[in-house]
Amino acid sequence: MNYLPINFKDKLAKFSEHWSPRVVAEMNDYQFKLVKVQGEFVWHDHPDTDEVFIVLEGTLDIEFRDGSVTLGSGEMFIVPRGIEHKPVARDECKIMLVEPKGVVNTGDTESDLTAENDVWV
Amino acid sequence: MNYLPINFKDKLAKFSEHWSPRVVAEMNDYQFKLVKVQGEFVWHDHPDTDEVFIVLEGTLDIEFRDGSVTLGSGEMFIVPRGIEHKPVARDECKIMLVEPKGVVNTGDTESDLTAENDVWV
């Protein structure tokens, strides 16, 4: 039989909300999530896990308390566990996150931007 | 300070060997590896872990005992643990693998294509 790949563009076309991660795949107890982001997120950290950011389209800044990193398409960065960070995108940016199942997008920070978890697309 | 992103194109320009995974990042006990592939790999499986294939450039077929999947740029597929598979690329293809640290590229299959593990680029 012909199995079907997961196509990032196709999956991204199925939702428009910003800062609302959509799960596209699960590897062991980790999830791959697509997210459209625009504007400023909230400062937060994930005390128990590193977090992978991969930019698929656009430009993403990740601010840290001691600096920042700018990611373009085809670039990734891993935010170490426990490090406070704030993603910022001047224009809409499409990214993929990789992190353990159950990680909340705003960490322990209470925010209107806290998204429902484990939503698949 | 300005932190530096991991740029896939820059990393891929630094090696030319086929079927020789190069680690570019570590998230918890998982690794992100870039690989250039061309031709037929060997049938193998990974009994203890799923394995993520993401195509960055080119076309990759993954054959299974009961079918196959074809991946283009911007597509991914997760081979479940224990499932025999054989990657095949007619022309050179650039991919990213995500899997736990320590996974050998040919699984338990002895092959000339078995690569040294944990080689960073």
Residue A92, CA atoms < 13 Å, CB-side half-sphere: 8
pLDDT, one tens digit per residue, over A31-75 is: 999 999 999 999 999 999 999 999 999 999 999 999 999 999 999
In a domain, B13, yes or no: no
pLDDT, one tens digit per residue, over A77-100 is: 999 999 999 999 999 999 999 999
Tell me if chain B has a CB within 8 Å of the CB of A65. no
In a domain, A109, yes or no: no
The span from the CA of B53 to the CA of B78, in Å, is 6
Three-state SS for B44-106 is ECCCCCCEEEEEEECCEEEEECCEEEEECCCEEEEECCCCCEEEEEEEEEEEEEEEECCCCCC
State residue B1's pLDDT score: 87
- The CA R_g of chain A, rounded to the nearest whole Å, is 14
> Position of tokens 């993520």?
B52
Q: Which residue range(s) make up the domain with A71?
A: 26-100
In a domain, B70, yes or no: yes
Tell me if chain B has a CB within 8 Å of the CB of A77. yes
Average pLDDT, chain A: 97
* Contacts of B110 by beta carbon, 8 Å cutoff, 6+ apart: none
In the predicted model, residues of chain B with pLDDT beneath 70 are none
Longest dimension (CA), chain A: 52
The domain that contains A47 carries what CATH number? 2.60.120.10
ipTM score of complex: 0.97
Tell me if chain A has a CB within 8 Å of the CB of B19. no
Interface size A-B, in CB pairs within 8 Å, comes to: 98
> What count of other Cβ atoms lies within 10 Å of the Cβ of residue A42?
16
Strand B67-71 and strand A30-40: the pairing is unpaired
State residue B87's pLDDT score: 98
In a domain, A15, yes or no: no
pLDDT, one tens digit per residue, over A42-52 is: 999 999 999 99
> What count of other Cβ atoms lies within 10 Å of the Cβ of residue B115?
17
In a domain, A119, yes or no: no
Residue type at A17? E
Spatial CA neighbour of B32 closest among B6, B3, B71 = B6
Portion of chain B with pLDDT greater than 90, in percent: 98
pTM exceeding the 0.95 threshold for the entire prediction = yes
In a domain, A94, yes or no: yes
The beta-carbon neighbor of B2 closest among A3, A68, A75 is A68
In a domain, B113, yes or no: no
CA of A47 vs chain B CAs: smallest distance (Å): 12
> Total structural domains in chain A?
1
Assess whether pLDDT exceeds 90 at residue A1.
no
